[in-house]
Chain A
Amino acid sequence: MTCCNVDVGKILKEYSEEKGNLMEILHKIQNSSKENYICDDCMKKISDYTKLPLNKLYGVTSFYTMFSNKKRGKYVIRMCESCPCHVLGAEAVINSFVDELGIKVGETTKDGKFTLEHCACLGLCAVAPAVMINEDVHGNLKPEMVKDIIAKYE
């Protein structure tokens, strides 16, 4: 029984065992999980399959902010924390998210719907400050826009 209810075996079979496939495998497994994370059991199975020891695999997943080994909400809100976004008011925007959702950065709402995170540069500097909510991009943000954005997500 897998704890995140992802059929890891099936996903792994789509890839050959070479290490170069690791990032894709990790993304696919995380995206297949309803809670937007890679559970410990999956980690062990990926480690066995790719022959990458668990310590190094955890080194990879803990390095990239896109990956998580802890349960997250259905929607992950990633607030860019790089310089251009910061300069153009990212902090006020994220404070607005904090107020609206009633959680701190790094936390998940009680209903399991949203997780709020900082992340490295999203490459959306032209529309800074920007967030990504799962695969959606929201740019040119102002604090007062946050309420409407959240309302779009069921």
Chain B
Amino acid sequence: MLNININGMDVKVEKGSTILEAANKIGLKIPTLCHIPEIQKIGACRMCLVDIEGNPKLQASCTTPVVDGMIVKTNTKKVRDTRKFVLELILSDHPTACLTCERNTRCELQTLAAELGVDIVPFRGATSSRGKDNDTLQLNYDGSKCIYCKRCETMCNEVQTVGAIFSQKRGFDSEVGTPFNLPFKDSVCTGCGQCVLNCPVGALKDNENIDEVWDAIYNPDKITVIQVAPSVRVTLGEEFGLKPGSIVTGKIFAAMRRMGFDHIFDTDFAADLTIMEEGYEFINRVKNGGTLPMITSCSPGWVNFIETFFPDLLPNLSTCKSPQQMQGAMVKTYFAEKMKLDPKKIVSISVMPCTAKKGEAKRPEMGRDGYSDVDIAITTREFAKMIRQSEIDFLNLPDEGPDDPIGISTGAGLIFGASGGVMEAALRTALEVIEGHEIKNVDYVGVRGLKLDGFKEATVSTQIDGNPVDVKVAVASGLGNARKLMEKVQAGEADYHFIEIMACPGGCIGGGGQPIPTTTEIRKQRIEGIYKGDKDMPIRKSHENPAIQVLYKEFLGEPNGHKAHELLHTHYTQQKYYENLKK
């Protein structure tokens, strides 16, 4: 342990800690812009400068390791003046059009300017000529707002290993961009949105679809049907000041009703449906010698990733559509038939933790007879914005439920929101179906939790047709971890039966469409919320969901049957990247 004195307070820290980490330990909030705890320490923005005794120059606390006996001051006049000066320099090239910016009142740069008391921007000169991208389904880019903190770049390259963006050009023209400044849609971008989640300003944001949703609500000829994803109920509260992990399920449905949606459903129902289809698909593959390991396909960022980087493993991918698409398909077929509605008049809307869902909804194979399963996908952030636009006092709403007949859900559907959840939900159903009797303990804790580096593994013993089988499973979240796992599978070093992959670290609770900020600590709290919600559910296994049972009886027939295949399954194609380069 090393001793350091910060602002007169003694702190003990482990060897290798930075001054910033030591300061955080005693509750000091040193300002940062380019720092991502545990992920990016580059000392680029110079906001975290501190005064180290014996050192003539101020040093970046995020990159300077603690030396035993160090004496540091973080809030002297020199430090404050210098930080303010640095910020003024950053602002010299910034539009400062805060009122009309997406991140107004939620911007790290704006907050710092207020905290450091920047009252004018003293330096005004040339402005950068960085481009814009309004052409991509999942996200928008406005380079003029970029402060070059490189957080997006690190998420894209180091954490997600997608490599769509990187620092380009030099000097004043430097920018983070795609090769040849292509629109994101023509790059290897998976649309995961981790860059958006980490942008301190409004340079990267959702490609917003709020206006389309309002238009549908106000159009008397349209029937709006909305669904909300499992993870949104433990994150949306943060947009209204609640603690991460607070469960606001009832208020979400109440808000939707007041906003004027005609029919309100829960994607948790479709998550149960996914488990039925995916669980039976898994059993079939194991029993009939199908391609193993089977890999989950709920995460559209992940599907884009495997289609781009591991096309040889596409036969391993479950053919099941994601819950969003299954719900959409059921809305426009089963529900429309039952309620005698014209599916062409239905506008199917989803509230998702995800920017990639916007792309998934627009995939041409996701629909039939000229209409899509899901017409508009909005993120948690966009939905929160809509609630604010609706003059709804969200926190004081009563708790309400979704509509019948496809509103009932289970704990198994809910845990889809966290990494490991799909696996656990699938095991709850598959093992019971395989063994043919009730399994009392359905907590498969081995697959739970946040694992930022590597993947989770578990082995579950069962019997298939009288023979004992050890079912080996693996769970990875974050595309960098997914890549490691897939390389293992490719090399033949993995004898798993079943693999769950989520594109975003921690699963959907850390999705690219979730409230900002989303830190490691916040991800953990959201995961706790998910499993608390699961424990409190009266039904915790998908196949016991009475609405699911009725759906199969009345409409779908057998899981994996003909009709189910037609409506609930899909196919994948290799995405050839940078194909359009040959000009």
Q: Which of A41-82 contact B (CB under 8 A)?
A: 41, 43-44, 53-59, 62-63, 65, 69
Given A62-B168, A63-B170, also A57-B179 (CB < 8 A): yes
A151 contacts partner chain B, Cβ-Cβ < 8 Å? no
- With beta carbons under 8 angstroms apart, the residue of A3, A43, A56, A65 that contacts B166 is A56
Map CB proximity to A onto B152-180 as digits: 1 under 8 Å, 0 otherwise: 00000100000111111110000000111
Complex CA distance for A41 and B163, rounded to whole angstroms:
18
Instruction: Return B122 CB to nearest CB of chain A, in Å.
Output: 26
Q: How far is the CA of A63 from the CA of B173 in the complex (A)?
A: 10
Say yes or no: is B553 at the interface (Cβ < 8 Å to chain A).
Answer: no
Bound complex: CA of A58 vs CA of B153, how far in Å? 14
For the complex, give the distance between the alpha carbons of A153 and B199 in Å.
Answer: 50
* CB of B187 within 8 Å of the partner chain: yes
The reply to whether the CB of B578 lies closer than 8 angstroms to some CB of chain A is yes
How many angstroms from the CA of A62 to the CA of B167 in the assembled complex? 9
Within 8 A of A (CB), among B561-583: 578, 581-583
Cβ-closest chain B residue relative to A52: B163
Residue interface mask B11-24, A partner, CB < 8 A = 1: 00000000000000
State how many angstroms separate the Cβ of A142 from the closest Cβ of chain B.
Answer: 28
B residues 339-361 with Cβ under 8 Å of A?
A: none
Give A40's nearest chain B residue, CB to CB.
B581
Contact of B179 among A41, A58, A65 (CB under 8 A): A58
Is B166 within 8 A of A59, CB to CB? Answer: yes
CA distance A40 to B167 in the complex (A): 18
Asked if A54 meets B179 with Cβ closer than 8 Å, knowing A59-B167, A62-B169, the reply is yes
Check B582–A43 contact: CB distance below 8 A: no
A55 touches B178 (CB 8 A): yes
Q: Which residues of A contact B170 (CB under 8 A)?
A: 62-63, 65
Bound Cα distance A44, B186 (Å):
14
Note all chain A residues with C-beta closer than 8 A to B164.
55
The residue from B167, B178, B180, B583 contacting A3, defined by CB atoms under 8 A apart: B583
Residues on B with beta carbons closer than 8 Å to the beta carbon of A3: 582-583
- Within B525-583, which residues are at the interface with A (CB < 8 Å)? 578, 581-583
Cβ distance A117 to chain B, nearest Cβ, rounded Å: 14
Given contacts A3-B583, A63-B169, A69-B180, whether A55 and B163 have CB atoms under 8 Å apart is yes
Measured CB to CB, the nearest residue on chain B to A1 is B582
Residue of A nearest to B165 (CB): A55
B368–chain A nearest beta-carbon distance, Å = 36
**What residues of chain A lie closer than 8 Å to B582, measured between beta carbons?**
3, 40-41
- Find chain A residues with CB under 8 A from B188 CB: 53-55
> Is B169 touching A54 in the complex (CB atoms < 8 A)?
no
**Complex-state Cα separation, A63 to B171, whole angstroms:** 9
Tell me the dominant secondary structure on chain A's binding face. helix
Q: Point out the residues of chain A lying under 8 angstroms from B583, CB to CB.
A: 3, 40
Measured between C-beta atoms, what is the minimum distance from A111 to chain B in Å? 22
Bound state CA distance, A44 and B578, in angstroms? 8
Shortest Cβ distance from A151 into chain B, in angstroms?
33
A59 proximity list for chain B (CB < 8 A): 166-168
Give the distance to chain B from A71, nearest Cβ to Cβ, in Å.
11
Instruction: Give Cα distance in the complex from A86 to B135, angstroms.
Output: 41
Which chain B residues lie closer than 8 Å to A55 at the CB level? Answer: 157, 163-166, 178-179, 187-188
Q: CB-CB < 8 A to B178: which residues of A?
A: 55
Residues on A with C-beta less than 8 A from B167 are: 59
Q: Is the CB of A41 within 8 A of B581?
A: yes
Q: Are B163 and A53 in contact (CB under 8 A)?
A: yes
In whole angstroms, how far apart are the Cα atoms of A57 and B164 in the complex?
Answer: 12
Q: Is A43 a contact partner of B169 (Cβ separation < 8 A)?
A: no
The digit string for A102-144, where 1 denotes a CB below 8 A from any CB of B, is 0000000000000000000000000000000000000000000
Residue on A with the closest CB to B156? A55
Give the residue among A43, A54, A55, A65 with the most B Cβ atoms within 10 A: A55
Q: From B579, which residue of chain A is reached at the shortest CB distance?
A: A44
Q: What B residues does A40 contact at CB under 8 A? A: 180, 578, 581-583
**CB-contact partner of B578 in A54, A62, A69, under 8 A:** A54
What residues of B have a CB within 8 angstroms of the CB of A53 in the complex? 157, 163, 166, 188
Chain B residues lying within 8 Å of A63, measured Cβ to Cβ, are 168-170
Within 8 A of A (CB), among B134-165: 157, 163-165
List, in ascending order, chain A residues with CB within 8 A of B163's CB: 53-56
- Whole-angstrom CA separation of A54 from B169 in the bound complex: 14
Residue numbers in B under 8 Å from A58 (CB-CB)? 166, 168, 179-180
Greatest chain A CB density within 10 A among B157, B188, B578 is at B578
Find chain A residues with CB under 8 A from B578 CB.
40, 44, 54
Smallest CB-CB separation from B161: which chain A residue? A53
Complex Cα spacing A68 to B93, Å: 27
A44-B188 Cα distance, complex, nearest whole Å: 13
CB distance from B84 to the nearest CB of A (A): 30
Q: How far is the CA of A40 from the CA of B187 in the complex (A)?
A: 13
- Give the distance to chain A from B583, nearest Cβ to Cβ, in Å: 7
Query: Closest residue of chain B to A56, judged by CB?
Result: B166
Identify the closest chain A residue to B166 (Cβ): A55
CA distance A55 to B158 in the complex (A): 13
Contact partners of A56 in chain B: CB under 8 A: 157, 163, 166
Residues of A within 8 A of B179 (CB): 43, 54-55, 57-58
Interface bits B318-358 vs A (CB < 8 Å: 1, else 0):
00000000000000000000000000000000000000000
Q: What residue in chain A is nearest B167 (Cβ atoms)?
A: A59
**Chain A minimum-CB-distance residue to B187:** A55
**Nearest Cβ distance between residue B40 and chain A, in whole angstroms?**
16
Nearest A residue (CB) for B163: A53
Min CB–CB distance A121 → chain B (angstroms): 13
CB contact between A44 and one of B165, B166, B187, B581 (< 8 Å): that residue: B581
- Scoring A41, A62, A65 by chain B CB atoms within 10 A of each residue's CB, the highest score goes to A62
Minimum CB–CB distance from A2 to chain B (whole Å) comes to: 9
* Cβ contacts B175-198/A at 8 Å (1 or 0 each): 000111000000110000000000
Return the chain A residue nearest B174 by Cβ. A63
- Across the interface, name the chain A residue whose C-beta is closest to B164: A55
Which of chain A's residues 3-60 have a Cβ closer than 8 Å to chain B? 3, 40-41, 43-44, 53-59
Measured CA separation A84–B165 after assembly (Å): 36
Complex interface: chain B residues within 8 A of A41 (CB): 581-582
For the complex of A and B, 7 pairs with smallest distance between CB atoms: A58-B179, A53-B163, A55-B166, A40-B581, A59-B166, A54-B179, A62-B168
A selection of 13 A-B contacts at a CB cut-off of 8 Å is A3-B582, A40-B180, A53-B188, A54-B179, A55-B164, A55-B166, A55-B178, A55-B188, A57-B179, A58-B166, A59-B166, A62-B169, A62-B170
| Given A3-B583, A43-B179, A55-B179, 11 additional A-B pairs, CB 8 A | A43-B581, A55-B157, A55-B166, A56-B163, A56-B166, A58-B166, A62-B170, A63-B169, A63-B170, A65-B170, A69-B180
